[in-house]
């Protein structure tokens, strides 16, 4: 559609008039006090991660001395940890001992109060690393078993003498009870085409299975593998295990997500760190011997950590587990951990591997 010039002319005149009015109005208004928008607090630097247990010193001062509060409240991760009167001072120092804190990101907040009302709030984010030197393990193979090369292994789990495996890929994802001596499925539940199966775990007489990007998990009854219910979660699903009655899940980062195993509500999350930094790419999980093991995705390394604090306790190097003469050329990465307590052995395999191995850990010296 085309508009006639007679229609456009009034619009042009109106715009020019509005601009002229705005210009005249701006001349009469007081300039904005940009200084009133400057930061109220000025923090001292706290740049590098500190080990858990360290004393951390937070130093700060008032940038705006025209508005001095009568008290300051200190909070750590949302919880009040102290307070102080200001008197005539404009510079402050607060020392916090981090013993008992978890690894990863934390948030220190200061709140300025005057006359019983909060004036300003500022925060400083910092990181805590693990204060535990990890043990280092290698392995010895005790026995090996056939494994289906069509199985894109995502989870492995023992319950008594029964071995269960969860597999991935759209259109190929399944949950199976496996005969260890042959690698064949005794029972099998196939997932719908839309689902990419991921980790599995067992709590009591229930088996839990998650999916990758569908944000949906499934619960099955044991020993019949009948679907019992479904549940949802907010992140990608990678590995799955349990800890003290809760489900714990990974999403490929260094975070562990705790879910109530009955309501499936999110409870908390923990960040996994060693003494050097965050440990990411956490995949398949297995709770065993006082901690949780995880496959570090795309590597031949297993990581053991305390799920409560996120501190790395040990590393297991599985390089060379699958011998060259056993390779078919179609193998994908190492994945799948199942601990059998009555034997004291770990059963491990990989995606599309031709073998599953029962191994014993051998502690090494050094890092």
Listing DSSP states for 310-344 in one string gives -BEEEEEE-TT-S-GGG--S----EEEEEEETTTT
Tokens of 163: 């071995």
What is the Rg, in whole angstroms, of the alpha carbon atoms belonging to the chain?
A: 29
* Cα–Cα distance measured from residue 265 to residue 194, given in angstroms and rounded to the nearest whole number: 24
Domains of the chain from N-terminus onward: 40-129 (2.60.40.10), 135-364 (2.120.10.30)
* Cα–Cα distance measured from residue 8 to residue 10, given in angstroms and rounded to the nearest whole number: 6
Predicted confidence at residue 338, as pLDDT, reads 97
* Cα–Cα distance measured from residue 180 to residue 321, given in angstroms and rounded to the nearest whole number: 18
Which 3-state string (H, E, C) describes 256-295?
Answer: EEEEECCCCCEEEEEECECCCCECCCEEEEEEECCEEEEE
Cβ atoms of 132 and 291 closer than 8 Å = no
Cβ atoms of 233 and 265 closer than 8 Å = no
Predicted confidence at residue 10, as pLDDT, reads 41
Predicted confidence at residue 120, as pLDDT, reads 82
Predicted confidence at residue 268, as pLDDT, reads 94
* Cα–Cα distance measured from residue 153 to residue 140, given in angstroms and rounded to the nearest whole number: 22
SS3 content of the chain, % helix, strand, coil (to 5): 10, 50, 40
Residue with tokens 């601009």: 19
What does residue 25 show for φ and ψ, rounded to 5 degrees?
A: -65, -40
Mean pLDDT of successive 10-residue stretches along the chain, which has 367 residues: 39 41 46 45 77 90 74 91 78 88 93 84 90 96 96 96 96 96 94 97 96 96 94 96 96 96 94 96 96 96 96 96 89 94 96 96 77
Cβ atoms of 128 and 98 closer than 8 Å = yes
Mean pLDDT score of the chain: 87
Cα–Cα distances in Å, from 222 out to 169, 178, 203? 24, 14, 10
Cβ atoms of 271 and 49 closer than 8 Å = no
Cα–Cα distances in Å, from 291 out to 294, 314, 317, 366? 10, 10, 17, 21
Half-sphere exposure of 84 (CA within 13 A, CB side): 13
* Cα–Cα distance measured from residue 321 to residue 20, given in angstroms and rounded to the nearest whole number: 79
DSSP run (H or E) holding 75: strand 71-76
What does residue 68 show for φ and ψ, rounded to 5 degrees?
A: -85, 125
Output the pTM of the full model. Answer: 0.83
């Amino acid at each position: 559609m085309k508009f006639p010039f007679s229609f456009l002319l009034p619009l042009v005149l109106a715009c020019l008039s509005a601009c002229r009015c705005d210009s005249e109005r701006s001349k009469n208004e007081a300039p904005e006090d940009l200084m009133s928008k400057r930061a109220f607090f000025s923090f001292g630097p706290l740049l590098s991660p500190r080990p858990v247990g360290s004393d951390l010193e937070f130093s700060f001062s008032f940038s705006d001395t025209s508005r001095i509060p009568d008290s300051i409240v200190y909070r750590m991760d949302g919880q009040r940890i102290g307070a102080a009167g200001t008197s005539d001072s404009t510079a402050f120092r607060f020392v916090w001992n981090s013993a008992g804190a978890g690894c990863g990101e934390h948030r220190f907040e200061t709140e300025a109060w005057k006359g019983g009302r909060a004036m300003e709030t500022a925060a400083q984010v910092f990181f805590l690393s693990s204060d535990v030197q990890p043990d280092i393990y290698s392995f010895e193979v005790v026995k090996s078993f056939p494994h289906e090369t069509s199985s894109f292994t995502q989870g492995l789990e023992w319950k008594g003498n029964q071995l269960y495996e969860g597999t991935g890929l759209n259109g190929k994802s399944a949950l199976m009870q496996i005969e260890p001596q042959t690698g064949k499925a005794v029972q099998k539940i196939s997932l719908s085409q839309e689902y990419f199966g991921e980790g599995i775990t067992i709590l009591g007489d229930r088996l839990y299975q998650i999916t990758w990007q569908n944000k949906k998990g499934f619960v099955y009854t044991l020993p019949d593998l009948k679907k019992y219910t479904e549940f949802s979660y907010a992140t990608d699903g990678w590995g799955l295990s349990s800890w003290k009655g809760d489900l714990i899940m990974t999403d490929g980062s260094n975070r562990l997500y705790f879910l109530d195993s009955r309501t499936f509500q999110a409870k908390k999350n923990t960040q996994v760190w060693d003494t050097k930094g965050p440990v990411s790419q956490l995949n398949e999980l297995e709770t065993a011997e006082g901690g949780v093991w995880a496959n570090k995705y795309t590597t031949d390394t297993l990581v053991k950590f305390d799920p409560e604090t996120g501190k790395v306790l040990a590393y297991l190097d599985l390089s060379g587990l699958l011998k060259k003469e056993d390779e078919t050329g179609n193998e994908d990465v190492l994945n799948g951990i199942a601990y059998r307590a009555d034997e004291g052995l770990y059963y491990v395999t990989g995606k599309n591997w031709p073998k599953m191995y029962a191994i014993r850990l051998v502690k090494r010296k050094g890092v």
